[in-house]
Amino acid sequence: MLQKRKKKDTERIITTRFVSNIELGLPIIDVIDNETPDFIIETINQKISVELTNVVNPELKKREEIQNLIVSDAEKIFLDKYSVNLRVLINFNNIPIVIRKSETKILSTEIFEFIEKIYNNNKNYEFRISTRRKKINVTGYIDSISIDSDLSFSNWQPFGAFLVEKVDKALVINCIEKKEVLLKKYHEKFDENWLVLTANFGNESSTFGFDTDEYLNVKSEFNRIYIYLIREDKIIRIK
């Protein structure tokens, strides 16, 4: 339940950032949490439904799952003890993590202890600390850790350098079709129905290059379809 609430809170922040983007020019009155659709946007003269979905490479996602598990467990240990929001970015190196899932707790605890020490040394101030280019005494699977106290919600995640590949159009179309099915389940009529495909959260599986010309003739029952690049706060309209 806590994980579901956290996911919804994160989605709300993303949706609010998206609809507030100056490129859209929406005179927003309210952003309303919902289930189907994910959110309802009330403007001065419209009520808009918003479906939100992530564009991810499924094969790369599998490789990242174990890193996410390690980081999320370290976050849980920290929050259980301190109930303090931090932004923590953990840069894993290219050494394969070959361990059982039951053994990830060992790495999570080691990461927690490292971050706990930094937090306790700096908790009386706003701080932003990076261990990049410094030798760190933490698990050999990690190159660097960045910790930021200036955040309204807890956000711990792995990250790293990688080449940005062009997105597979079939992957995008599949995301559209899966969400399109939900339109028939809406209990009320909206002035417009929007689909927002989110990408580029800082991990490899969600970061792509997009060629908008490929989507000029995309067909969908959604009135508008956008790709929202999170890190750049950039909007690409494909319908």
Return per-residue pLDDT of the chain as tens, 239 residues: 656 677 888 999 999 999 999 888 999 999 999 999 999 999 999 999 999 999 999 878 877 888 889 999 999 999 999 988 999 999 888 777 777 777 888 899 999 999 999 999 999 988 988 887 666 666 778 888 999 987 777 889 887 667 788 899 899 999 999 999 999 999 999 999 999 999 998 778 898 988 877 777 788 999 999 999 998 999 999 99
DSSP state of 133: T
Q: Are residues 33 and 69 in the same domain?
A: no
Q: What is the distance between the alpha carbons of residues 233 and 169, in angstroms, rounded to a whole number?
A: 22
The residue range of the domain holding 69 is: 58-159
pLDDT at 143: 84
Q: Are residues 122 and 140 in the same domain?
A: yes
Q: Of the residues 159, 185, 205, which one is the last residue of a structural domain?
A: 159
pLDDT at 154: 80
Q: Are residues 84 and 16 in the same domain?
A: no
Q: What is the distance between the alpha carbons of residues 187 and 184, in angstroms, rounded to a whole number?
A: 9
Exposure string for 50-80, b = 16+ CB within 10 A, e = fewer = bbbbebbbeebeeebebbebbbbbbbbbbee
Query: In the beta sheet, which residues pair with residue 92?
Result: 142
Q: Are residues 141 and 155 in the same domain?
A: yes
Q: Are residues 77 and 154 in the same domain?
A: yes
Specify the DSSP element, H or E, that contains 227: strand 224-229
Query: In the beta sheet, which residues pair with residue 237?
Result: 226
Q: How many domains does the chain have?
A: 2
Q: Are residues 112 and 178 in the same domain?
A: no
Q: Of the residues 159, 191, 206, which one is the last residue of a structural domain?
A: 159
Q: Please provide residue 187's backbone torsions phi and psi, each rounded to the nearest 5 degrees.
A: -95, -5
Q: Are residues 42 and 75 in the same domain?
A: no
pLDDT at 136: 63
pLDDT at 204: 84
Q: Are residues 134 and 92 in the same domain?
A: yes
Q: Of the residues 159, 175, 197, which one is the last residue of a structural domain?
A: 159
CA-derived radius of gyration, the chain: 20
pLDDT at 61: 83
Q: Are residues 18 and 69 in the same domain?
A: no
pLDDT at 52: 95
pLDDT at 137: 63
